[in-house]
Amino acid sequence: MRVYNTHQRKSLIDFLKSNSNRSFTIEEIIIEMGEEISQSTAYRLMTKLVEDGLVHRSVKGNSRSFVYQFINNEKCEGHLHMKCTDCGKVYHLDHSTTVHMQNDIKNNTGFEIDSHTVLLGRCNTCKK
């Protein structure tokens, strides 16, 4: 299927790329982008970007809402992530730390953690 690079699609991708360390609800994206994107277009484009593998969709905390975050498949493969539950910032753990944690957990419990796991907590800035 052909991908159309409309102005709104490009603006949305540019916004998500420039904020790739954060995740957003669609409502937050619409507020942040202002008049650059309409609500219906944001929902339609986000669905397509998730299908295309450019954006990751996850549940926001214990709610029924979803948050979306731009991903770079090369950058985000093979390691764990940590996400601040207050500000939404995502931290990428390096490969050796990921492997060490996965091995420790597997050796102690027999449980295998995949590299798509996101550890939730609070960052240093939000703890203050």
For range 90-101, the mean pLDDT? 88
The answer to whether residue 39 is domain-embedded is yes
CATH number at residue 27: 1.10.10.10
The verdict on 53 and 106 lying in the same domain is: no
The verdict on 100 and 60 lying in the same domain is: no
Q: What percent of the chain has pLDDT over 90?
A: 41
The answer to whether residue 97 is domain-embedded is yes
Q: What per-residue confidence (pLDDT) applies to 3?
A: 54
- In angstroms, the CA 125 to CA 128 distance is 6
The verdict on 28 and 60 lying in the same domain is: yes
Q: Per residue in 34-75, pLDDT tens?
A: 988 999 999 999 999 988 888 888 877 677 888 898 886 555
pLDDT value at 1 more than 50: no
The verdict on 66 and 83 lying in the same domain is: no
Domain that holds residue 82: 78-127
The answer to whether residue 2 is domain-embedded is no
pLDDT value at 117 more than 90: no
> For residue 66, what are the CA distances in angstroms to 43, 45, 74, 96, 97?
11, 15, 23, 30, 28
CB-based contact 70:13 (threshold 8 Å): yes
For range 95-100, the mean pLDDT? 91
The verdict on 11 and 49 lying in the same domain is: yes
DSSP secondary structure of 57-116 = EEE-TTSS-EEEEE--HHHHTTS-EEEETTT--EEEPPHHHHHHHHHHHHHHHSPPPPTT
The answer to whether residue 120 is domain-embedded is yes
Q: Which residues contact 44 (CB under 8 A, 6 or more apart)?
A: none
The verdict on 89 and 113 lying in the same domain is: yes
Please name which of 64, 62, 66 lies closest in space to residue 24, comparing C-alpha atoms: 66
The verdict on 21 and 66 lying in the same domain is: yes
Domain count, the chain: 2
The verdict on 12 and 60 lying in the same domain is: yes
Q: What per-residue confidence (pLDDT) applies to 72?
A: 64
pLDDT value at 6 more than 60: yes
Q: What per-residue confidence (pLDDT) applies to 43?
A: 94
CATH number at residue 123: 3.30.1490.190
